[in-house]
Structure 1
Amino acid sequence: MHLLRRISTGGIALCAAAVTITACGSENSGGTTSHANGKVVLSIIVPTHTAPPTAPHAISAVRAAATAINAKGGINGKQIEIRTCNENGNPNDAVKCARQAVSDHSVAVVGSYSNSSNQLIAPLVKAGIPLVGFNAITPADYACAVCYTFDAGNTLSFAGMPAALRASGARTVTAVTLDLAAAAANVSAVEQAAKAAGLQTVPPVKVGVTSTDLAPAVQAVIGSKADAAVSVLPTEQTTAFIRAADQAKAPFTFGVVDAQVQSVLSQFRGTQGDHVLAVGAYPPLDATAAYPGLVQYKTELDAQEKTGDKDAATRDSISLRAWLSVHVVAQAAAGITGDITAASLNNGFRTAKDIDLYGIQPKWTPSAKGHVPGFDRVSNARVFFMRINNSKLVPAKPIAGLDLNTGKPF
């Protein structure tokens, strides 16, 4: 138990140190109000272009939750109106989308995703608009004054990787990374987190930026004698590496964050995913017996899909987080008397206790402090360990996850 706690806190602090933290600025009075039509305006900002990363299904999830809440009377009798903006994977467009949310008098930005998080967050902080359920990828995303994160996010999930590998029996680890100077910080984070977990490290295996044949990289890992490798690759090359490792009958475990493989799970047949160990902020979506809130998620997304929204058929942790974010806003706003504004919603979050995340995550008190160094605003920091079986993520054994705040497995 003590070892797991040392893994969780030591590794995360090192990962955080490897990322440049940009200050989010100060929060203003937050005078943004609900739209003049009397509805509560919520915005979602995600990339919806065809090239990865893309997340139109997050919009579907937000709409599904809003429809379900509206059918029960909305938020304090007011209907939710969803506004969307495509940030195109471009930092300039991310800024435009944030400014559009301000112009739209959005009460909150929910379930959003962007690799340009620093650029997106700054205008929202200046306007005092809550950013709820953002797919956090840097420490700054967790720390800004109006950011409300109710799960571990990608950064903390990645930091839980060493514990997952150690639990799977690994003792020596390497990183598989793009051959770019910009990737050095990520590799350093992997190596330092691995050492904090008591794992030995060997030099990283580098892959050309345009490489499509990952067989040489697989052979390099085998030759290194490492019994685990961590992917610091984009989805396409991660997928190619998994296939090449299966063809080579590679003996090592390959660690990934669930976001690297969720969109391509259907491609893994037979034994291809047997050596993959995934970590993420949410349980497998089929684990409805252990997490009954997933049934409600499925029901509401099914209803959205029946409206002709084909993107609602895509279900993953991005979609689940987006869906939860709308329900979280509704609960935080339930105690507001008078107008629902960005300012009153911020106050609602500051005073809310035990927001129900439907058993998918523990109940969440936004003002509660976490215990992971550098992430004190993250009071829910569960990381789930998963394997791939029949093109689906399933709980890993013998340990299905780790609470990074307590160091206790579950």
Structure 2
Amino acid sequence: MTERRMRRVRHAVVPLVATSALLSGCGVLPGGSGDSQGPVVVMTWAPVDTKATNMPGMIAMAQAFERYVNDNGGLGGRKLKVLTCNERNDSVAVAKCVQQAADAHAVAVVGSYSEQGRSFTTALESNDIPYIGGYGITQDEFLSPLSYPVNGGVPALLAGSGAQLAAACKKVAFVRPDTITGDQFPNFLNHGLKSMGHNPARDLRAQDDATEYTGVAEQAVGDNKASNCVSAVLGDHTSTFFDSLRRLGDKPPKVRLSSVIGSVQQSLVNATGGANSPLENALVTDWYPPASDPKWAEMKSVIDKYAFSDDRIDVADPGVQTTWIAYSVFAKVLRAMDKNTKVTATTVEKAFDHTTALSTGGLTPDLGWTDTDLLNLPDHSRLGDAKVTYQVVRNGQLVQQTGGFVDVTRTLQEATGAL
């Protein structure tokens, strides 16, 4: 890491004020990647066609946003150029994505997903490229000084899920990936349970690329009492686990099901029967409001106009939603930069370091990445948004269980040893 990164010299904080429309009132932004009239180059990566979790919708959303911005005057007259890369759930592949971004003089990596956190954060830091609005699946995203999260990542989801489960379940069985990333999950879930005076969950490891989960499903169900809950967080393969659970006997299991957004979402409920889905009454923790919330109207209109026939995009996909928020934030921060400042990776980083009270129109709490915004949690020093939403499947629809955002800051502080 460079001395400049280690010192993290900061300047006066300049609050950003949200505008009612994403592209209204844009000033000219000279400079950037290439010459002063060249495009502002960024990259979005995600895994596609792998045996584990895949996020093609994030790449598709980035491409739709590029068309949207450029069809509406660009970034102050400058075109936005979005490079995309399949990181293949592979440390070597994601390092090649970083090199591609560096060779193209990208000013940021925006709205991306990778479980290879150590590989890509090290490579980004070596090339001084900021990482804006990552999905939040790895701890490294909350450690790198060049990372600017737009949500609380998996730690916030799991901490919130534990508290949500504690109010509904006598006992909890927790099925999670048998991976380095998955090894971090029980700590956050159990601290969420503990925050409500509940006992820890039974920790059940499972392969995140298995084709069936009969054995672990049998363990999870246990004595199959309606007062107990089974929570599964296996990414794309959560649906495979729930299918194995459903097939255990002649009758549906009595246990209540639970998960976090990304492992369960509206498309899975629809695919498994809607109102007759075994996920009916399931508890789900999310970062954002449900897809049915009017706050998503602008994103939906952009998808309708610029990606109507792109079946990679699901408006209820949290990856798609995260990419939309990340690009919206990126555009707002660039608009607030001084018009005489050349847009480079370094100046983008500096602008984000000075950003506070940035509105996302209620899709998240106001965001910021100044010293006063970040919670400075041990091993998660870049985490600033520790709020989640509680949802439940009712009549085949994911709906809000409780109003507004739930703050899990104290639970995360306890889970990371900050208290």
Matched with 1:237 is 240
Q: 2:268 aligns with which of 264, 269, 274?
A: 264
- 2:173 aligns to what SS in structure 1? strand
Deviation at 1:60, TM superposition (A): 1.8
Cα offsets for 1:103-156 (capped at 9, x unmatched): 111011001101112111211112221111101123321121110112122222
Alignment of 1:312-327 (within 5 A): 312-313=313-314, 315-327=316-328
CA–CA separation in structure 1 for the residues paired with 2:310 and 2:210: 34
Gaps of 5+ in 2: 9-30, 412-419
SS in 1 for 2:155: helix
Moved more, 372-381 or 327-336: 372-381
**Alignment correspondent of 2:11:** none
**Within-5 A mapping of 1:298-377:** 298-306=300-308, 308-313=309-314, 315-334=316-335, 335-336=337-338, 337-367=340-370, 368-371=372-375, 373-374=377-378, 375-377=380-382
1:27 maps to 2:29: no
Native 8 Å contact 2:217 2:245 kept in 1: no
Tell me the TM-score normalized by structure 2. 0.79
Give the Cα–Cα distance (whole angstroms) in 1 for the partners of residues 218 and 356 of structure 2: 48
Aligned partner (choices 386, 390, 393) of residue 388 of structure 1: 393
1:64 is aligned with what amino acid? A
**Alpha-carbon displacement from aligned partner over 1:69-111 (angstroms, at most 9, x marks no partner):** 2233222321101111111111110111011111111011001
What code does the residue aligned with 1:311 have? R
What percent of counterpart residues are identical? 22
Measure, in 2, the Cα distance between the counterparts of 1:55 and 1:200. 34
| Contact 1:28 1:128 (C-alpha < 8 Å) held by counterparts | no
Structure 2: which amino acid aligns with 1:103? Answer: D
Normalising by structure 1, we get a TM-score of 0.80
Q: What's the offset of the Cα at 1:359?
A: 1.7
Counterparts of 1:266 and 1:360, CA distance in 2: 23
Please tell me whether the aligned partners of residues 57 and 315 of structure 1 are also in contact (alpha carbons under 8 angstroms). Answer: no
SS of structure 2 residue aligned to 1:121: helix
Identify the residue that residue 146 of structure 1 maps to in structure 2: 146
Q: How many residues align?
A: 377
Q: Helix, strand or coil: the match of 2:356? A: coil
Which residue matches 1:11?
A: none
The structure with the largest helix share of the pair is: 1
- Residue 379 (str. 1) matches residue 380 (str. 2): no
Shift of 1:309: 3.1
TM superposition shift of 1:182:
8.9
Question: 1-side partners of 2:189 and 2:3: how far apart?
Answer: 29
Q: Distance in 1 between matches of 2:268 and 2:193?
A: 27
Cα deviation code 1:248-285 (max 9, x no counterpart): 44333222111112353322211411242111212211
Change in 2 beyond 3 A, CA 1:245/1:253:
farther
> What residue identity is the alignment partner of 1:354?
A
1:172 paired to 2:176: no
Is residue 377–residue 383 contact of structure 2 (8 Å, CA) maintained in 1? Answer: no
Q: Is the 8 A contact 1:152 1:281 kept in 2?
A: yes
SS of the equivalent of 1:141 reads helix
1:191, distance to aligned residue in structure 2 (A): 4.1
